Structure 1
């Protein structure tokens, strides 16, 4: 499927502050693989059933029980779990509060020294955009870069042509033969572009930041003789293909104690978001009818285009009864259409989003009913297939506080906020292990946010590069602490475990 449910097209659109946390807990995780959704039989409608509208609370459909409040009427509605429910800016820290200031100095010096190389790498990726699963040139450029910097590189990793893995391990001479487990920090570099607008979500900056984080941690491990391992993953197809889900299934994240990455957006300058994202799933709907001459014998036809328009209208009406935090959006296409021939085929691509995966599943069933009803009304057949399911993003608070403490040094105001009305396959990673995915603002022109040509241009500016360098330093400092500070890593894991328990209540 070629939908683009991923990325941060509406980053920070839910930036309203919270003063209270927790609304209700979320349910169990669901399988993310592509599935065909069975089409339910359409029941016969009987007249004279008005008494059924006097339903009790128990008779309400499942989607009615997620919240009794409106997002705009009660700021507590749809609040994520308490592990990332804070909205205030983390407190400022003095130089003495920074974890191993001498290591941070090494990280800063390393990133500054690498800046020209990283800038060249970023622009190279920007000027050679490649769509999901087609990032061959980018794959080769990035793997060559990491090999040149003494990382052990595995090309075409996990059976995916454009995925790759670069790893580095430092073992001090004093630790040779030690039975103590070396901690592992994971880093992600996204690579794919968007159709028609290139790197309009700034994946050139994401890929380059991942490289910078990995190289800065490597230098710090070596210079300060700290044992640790870095795994940098080149993750393809974030824009709808769910590349990280494939890598999760292949065990690519199993070694990691934590995983980090970042994402640019067109938000307020000098801001960084540590909030959640929406769960998301693409749906592909096909209507099959029977063609006929539109004037000569229209009664012979089953009009697939009518089915598509009925479905579109039904979803449009449904939007009036879904929560402001939910999203349903789609397009219609066909083949060999002509105004004098009744179309026998129509295709629709939809994306369904909600604050949690469980809410998405309930909303998806309501949307699916719109497609079934349209097929029933037009006597067409319908098939419905679901693409990769992106879970909501669950930021680790301990990692987030460490990141916020450092990124403040580079002029960023980092906040645990309402997050973004967008989706990413990194959400699935956050369900599997402690993770951090800060968003950061780059300067953009008016109405030039993510997924626009203006953002593509903005992603190549010196100002965007400077912002990326600051975030790279903060993420590298956070990642280094994971491998260097056993107590800190225990706190990180404990926070994640509590987060997942709350999810399952």
Structure 2
């Protein structure tokens, strides 16, 4: 989690979106008048990490080819919008309680037992069929609800709406706001259920409790084990810093991770150092090699790592073992894979020059998140029309295991701003994730996602268009 810029200096201007693709350009656009310049310039800059979201000036967010719609008068809402709003209003206190419970019991990857029990109890209470410890993952879970429309013989089975609820924390606590993600996920599921029942819409809701996003790749394992197979789309949201009342649907970077172990031979560091093989020297040579490699890296690439200390290290003994942890990021999975090979060569060279034995264990790779364009347009229209939330399309250098899911089926992953003094993966963000203002922001996005979910299940033409465009993209290699 390296960060070269002091976040208190307002570093949004240092994080220009340098890897927009397709039709996205960096042509500047004036910021909307309703957000004062002093607010934009005072925002904190988030730290890089597995699931944080760092953004540029809002003036660079808008897609030049399709700016978001604006409405001078409140839009007329379909009946199911009111059902969603009323349902979530009635659940507001209960959802706030769930968020605070999870926030006050932070659990690291694969240890989310408390969150597992709180969330599955809530889903069972609200009429979902719950499967605990799903697909062999002790803290994963699944909840589903099916509603048929027997009055319409041509639409009795419906589609499947997938939802994710992340649960894990960081050593800093819920410094990435997964308590809000979990709360929002279950809120979306219950609100969509109420709308399906009230308006006789056929469809199935499947929500997954997904563990270990912060480095463990829980969604990737669930994907490999069939947890997403029947879904026609999958959705979730994520909190971030930024100007108030905004959202974003940009891509994320792909990430490859490694544990690197150098094995040497210990010796007395003063009496007979020539008898030793210094594993710590190998680690520092590897670190220096990566540092030199950076000057040949593209600005959109990231490599960052640490040396893991050991209790038995002492200055008068040549270290016989050293461990390092590394992350390699790039805008696409193919670029990240190619960069990873260059980084691994730095490790190999350090082992060769010091005489150490090298072992590289690779993490589950996180692919770049690709928000489906058709679904993104629908969500943008809903968020703006019914909730007054502008939605940008700026990419970020962060990474998420939801990227792998998004390259398998059509998905959206909107992020949204909460009031915070600093960005994700900081103590300040963990504190902010428990505030009433953060809850209010999360609930607005929850409403927009729930309305989106009902529309997707209700609209046959939209669903067919999404499927056609996604399959065509896979065939052309865009989404695969």
Same fold (TM over 0.5): yes
Mapping 1:358-373, distance limit 5 Å: 358-373=334-349
Inter-CA distance 105–94: structure 2 relative to 1 (3 Å threshold): farther
Structure 1 stretch displaced more, 262-271 or 182-191: 262-271
Which of the numbers 321, 332, 344 marks the counterpart of 1:345? 321
Inter-CA distance 114–441: structure 2 relative to 1 (3 Å threshold): same
Q: Say whether 1:420 aligns with 2:422.
A: no
C-alpha distance after superposition, 1:167-199 (max 9, x if no partner): 011123425x8685421100000000001x110
SS in 1 for 2:123: helix
Alignment RMSD (CA, Å):
2.6
SS in 2 for 1:147: helix
In the aligned structure 1, how far is the partner of 2:416 from the partner of 2:126?
27
Q: Say whether 1:460 aligns with 2:434.
A: yes
In the aligned structure 1, how far is the partner of 2:340 from the partner of 2:64?
29
Contact 1:103 1:224 survives alignment (8 Å)? yes
Q: Say whether 1:221 aligns with 2:223.
A: no
Mapping 1:277-296, distance limit 5 Å: 277-296=252-271
Contact 1:18 1:85 survives alignment (8 Å)? no
Give the match for residue 127 of structure 2: 150
Mapping 1:51-90, distance limit 5 Å: 88-90=66-68
In the aligned structure 2, how far is the partner of 1:204 from the partner of 1:270?
19
Mapping 1:249-268, distance limit 5 Å: 249-268=224-243
Contact 1:355 1:392 survives alignment (8 Å)? yes
C-alpha distance after superposition, 1:348-402 (max 9, x if no partner): 0000100000000110000000000001110111011110000000001111111
Give the match for residue 470 of structure 2: 496
Give the match for residue 236 of structure 1: 211
The alpha-carbon deviation at position 21 of structure 1 amounts to 2.1
Give the match for residue 88 of structure 2: 111
C-alpha distance after superposition, 1:42-90 (max 9, x if no partner): xxxxxxxxxxxxxxxxxxxxxxxxxxxxxx9xxxxxxxxxxx9767532
The alpha-carbon deviation at position 11 of structure 1 amounts to 10
Which of the numbers 352, 355, 366 marks the counterpart of 2:331? 355
Contact 2:375 2:411 survives alignment (8 Å)? yes
The alpha-carbon deviation at position 503 of structure 1 amounts to 2.6
Inter-CA distance 379–85: structure 2 relative to 1 (3 Å threshold): farther
Give the match for residue 149 of structure 2: 172
Give the match for residue 483 of structure 1: 457
Inter-CA distance 426–135: structure 2 relative to 1 (3 Å threshold): same
Give the match for residue 38 of structure 1: none
Contact 2:149 2:157 survives alignment (8 Å)? no
- Highest RCO, 1 vs 2 (Cα 8 Å, sep ≥ 6): 1
C-alpha distance after superposition, 1:85-116 (max 9, x if no partner): 76753213588976x62111111111111111
Give the match for residue 303 of structure 1: 278
Which of the numbers 451, 457, 478 marks the counterpart of 2:425? 451
Mapping 1:352-431, distance limit 5 Å: 352-408=328-384, 409-417=386-394, 419-431=395-407
SS in 1 for 2:403: helix
SS in 2 for 1:358: helix
Give the match for residue 191 of structure 1: 167
The alpha-carbon deviation at position 17 of structure 1 amounts to 10
In the aligned structure 1, how far is the partner of 2:200 from the partner of 2:370?
33
Structure 1 stretch displaced more, 305-314 or 14-23: 14-23
In the aligned structure 2, how far is the partner of 1:290 from the partner of 1:11?
47
In the aligned structure 1, how far is the partner of 2:230 from the partner of 2:196?
18
Q: Mind listing any 5+ residue stretches in structure 1 that lack a counterpart?
A: 24-71, 73-83
In the aligned structure 1, how far is the partner of 2:111 from the partner of 2:191?
29
In the aligned structure 1, how far is the partner of 2:359 from the partner of 2:19?
42
In the aligned structure 1, how far is the partner of 2:440 from the partner of 2:205?
24
Contact 1:88 1:416 survives alignment (8 Å)? no
TM-score of the superposed pair, with normalisation by structure 1: 0.81
Q: Mind listing any 5+ residue stretches in structure 2 that lack a counterpart?
A: 26-55, 57-61
Inter-CA distance 344–375: structure 2 relative to 1 (3 Å threshold): same
In the aligned structure 2, how far is the partner of 1:285 from the partner of 1:88?
45
Contact 1:93 1:405 survives alignment (8 Å)? no
Inter-CA distance 17–373: structure 2 relative to 1 (3 Å threshold): closer
C-alpha distance after superposition, 1:121-140 (max 9, x if no partner): 10000000000000011100
In the aligned structure 2, how far is the partner of 1:168 from the partner of 1:145?
14
Contact 2:237 2:413 survives alignment (8 Å)? yes
The alpha-carbon deviation at position 498 of structure 1 amounts to 3.2
In the aligned structure 2, how far is the partner of 1:220 from the partner of 1:21?
36
Give the match for residue 57 of structure 1: none
Q: Say whether 1:314 aligns with 2:316.
A: no
Inter-CA distance 210–333: structure 2 relative to 1 (3 Å threshold): same
TM-score of the superposed pair, with normalisation by structure 2: 0.86
Contact 1:87 1:415 survives alignment (8 Å)? no
SS in 1 for 2:170: coil
The alpha-carbon deviation at position 267 of structure 1 amounts to 2.2
- Structure 1 consecutive aligned stretches of length 4 or more whose deviation exceeds 3 Å: 9-20, 84-89, 93-98, 177-181
Give the match for residue 136 of structure 2: 159
Contact 1:392 1:423 survives alignment (8 Å)? yes
SS in 2 for 1:212: helix
Contact 1:11 1:421 survives alignment (8 Å)? no
